[in-house]
Homo-oligomer: A and B are copies of this chain.
């Protein structure tokens, strides 16, 4: 069984992402986490568009971020996105950002499945179970 599914994404801080304190504005880390998730999703065929094609929206219902050290303008960094293999009908990613090996922040995001009628889906959609099987997660 494939226990850890992780993708590393290389990014660089943009000028417009820094605030008056000359560090990345804290809310922008959620953009970096999203970049990481989407990179993961493109690489593993489980993107927002894949879900959409199967009739589901996958909104974020929970997110958190804990900061250890700030990023500054021009910094190059790695977003490390790990799929957390939950049994519930949720998509959970653990996110870590590193700069030159140093841990910058950690976070987690949780997404749920909403069907075409706008209803929360309580059981894992079959396309998601198929994907998990393919990835040897179940």
Q: Which residues of A line the B interface, CB within 8 A?
A: 14-16, 18-23, 25-28, 30-31, 34-35, 38, 42, 47-49, 57, 59-67, 70, 73-74
Contact B26 A14 (CB under 8 A): no
Extra 9 A-B pairs, beta carbons < 8 Å, given A15-B19, A62-B64? A15-B20, A16-B34, A19-B20, A21-B57, A23-B59, A27-B27, A42-B74, A49-B73, A49-B74
19 sample A-B contacts, Cβ–Cβ < 8 Å, listed by A number: A14-B31, A15-B38, A16-B25, A16-B34, A18-B20, A19-B20, A21-B57, A21-B59, A23-B59, A26-B63, A27-B30, A47-B74, A49-B74, A60-B67, A61-B66, A62-B66, A63-B64, A63-B65, A64-B64
